[in-house]
């Protein structure tokens, strides 16, 4: 329920919108030479920072048509955006949350990244001691944007966050956050079980979810032991699914763990972490995947 405004319900939102848009400007990226291909804006999911509470900041990248930027694991080329935050003393900013990327393939190169637009969000804990008028937040951002060719771009974006009580209104950027959150990976359900079997050239990830899954897609976190150019074999079984990957020739030695995001039909992206069987098992010749 909305709390009635003292100055009339129609006037108040009109005041807030100019504040949000007036203080967070969209910045065209800078690049060493030629035109930039990204617009960047720093936004927050709340119009006001409430002392002692958490809000979310977001770097909203808008890319020219045909260009992409990279996920935390860029795949076979490229690199993820890097951010240096500047927040007042006592304000604590957490790590970036990355929405599920797309798989982008060009010839023998497979990348994980984003086209169109993407919001990379980070939690900001407002100290209980925060007082009006507010705080200036800024971010120095470096990233690589690619179409067929790649260009390093950078921008410094800033945002003034007014400190207010007693409640925090959603900001105009709320829908951007809602869209990003829907693509954030979730923790693995407690009933699921994972198992990783490693042979000389393959890795088999078995995920038991209590039902067969006919399709699956996997996005590996770094350090990434997979050869992405070789198609993944997806084998459903009554209790779940097995994915067999080709191990990358660029990753010598044993693989002890595989972590990443698993996407099953009709399910939110799920974060998976699977430990390999002991090294002795890895030294054995590969066994048949079917039982």
Partner 1 sequence: MRPATRFALAMMATALTLPLWGARPGEPAPDFTATDTYGRTHRLSDYRGKFVVLEWQNRGCPYTRKHYETGNMQRLQKQWTARGVVWLTIISSAPGKQGYMTAEEANQYFAQMGAASTAVLLDPQGTIGHLYDARTTPEIYIIDPKGVLIYQGAIDDKPTTNPEDIKTARNYVDLVLSQALAGQPVTISATRPYGCSVKYADE
The answer to the question of residue 252 lying near partner 1 (CB under 8 A) is yes
Nearer to partner 1, 77 or 175 (CB): 77
Nearest CA-CA partner of 224 in 248, 196, 206, 194:
248
Does 206 bind partner 1 (CB under 8 A)? Our answer is: no
* C-beta of 133 vs 253, nearer to partner 1: 253
232 lies in the binding site for partner 1 (CB under 8 A): no
Whose structure tokens read 């790590």? 95
Q: CA 88 to CA 290: how far, in whole Å? A: 57
Nearer to partner 1, 106 or 186 (CB): 106
The dihedral of CA 73, 78, 81, 84: what is its sign?
A: positive
Verify binding: residue 1, partner 1, rule CB under 8 A. Answer: no
- The tally of CA atoms less than 13 A away on the side-chain side of residue 191 is 5
Residue 191 DSSP SS3:
coil
CB nearer to partner 1: give 31 or 62: 31
The residues in 69-88 that bind partner 1, with binding defined as CB under 8 A, are 76-79, 82
Q: Residue 85: enclosing H or E segment and its boundaries?
A: strand 82-86
3-state SS class at 13: helix
Q: Which of 14, 35, 149, 190 binds partner 1 (CB under 8 A)?
A: 149
Residue 186 binding partner 1, by CB under 8 A? no
Positions in the binding site for partner 1 (CB under 8 A): 76-79, 82, 106-109, 142, 144, 146, 148-152, 224, 227, 230, 248-252
């Amino acid at each position: 329920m909305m709390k009635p405004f003292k100055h009339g319900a129609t006037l108040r939102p009109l005041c807030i919108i100019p504040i949000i848009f007036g203080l967070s400007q969209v910045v065209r990226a800078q690049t060493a030479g030629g035109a930039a291909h990204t617009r960047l804006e720093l936004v927050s999911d709340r119009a006001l920072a409430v002392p002692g509470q958490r809000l979310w900041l977001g770097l909203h990248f808008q890319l020219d048509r045909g260009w992409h930027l990279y996920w935390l694991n860029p795949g076979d080329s490229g690199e993820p955006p890097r951010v240096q935050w500047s927040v007042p003393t006592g304000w604590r900013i957490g790590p970036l949350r990355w929405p599920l990327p797309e798989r982008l393939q060009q010839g023998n190169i497979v990348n994980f990244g984003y086209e169109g637009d993407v919001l990379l969000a980070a939690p900001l804990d407002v100290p209980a001691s925060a007082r009006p008028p507010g705080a200036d937040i800024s971010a120095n951002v470096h990233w690589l944007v690619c179409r067929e060719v790649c260009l390093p771009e950078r921008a410094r974006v800033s945002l003034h966050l007014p400190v207010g009580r007693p409640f925090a209104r959603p900001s105009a950027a709320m829908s951007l956050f809602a869209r990003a959150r829907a693509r954030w990976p979730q923790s693995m359900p407690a009933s699921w079980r994972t198992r990783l079997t490693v042979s000389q050239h393959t890795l088999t990830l078995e995920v038991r979810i209590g039902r067969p899954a006919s399709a699956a897609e996997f996005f590996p976190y770094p350090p990434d032991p997979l050869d992405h150019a070789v198609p993944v074999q997806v084998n459903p079984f009554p209790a779940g699914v097995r994915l067999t990957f080709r191990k990358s020739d660029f990753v010598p030695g044993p693989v002890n763990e595989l972590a990443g995001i698993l996407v099953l039909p009709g399910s939110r992206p799920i974060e998976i972490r699977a430990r390999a069987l002991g090294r002795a098992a890895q030294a054995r010749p590969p066994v048949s995947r079917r039982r």
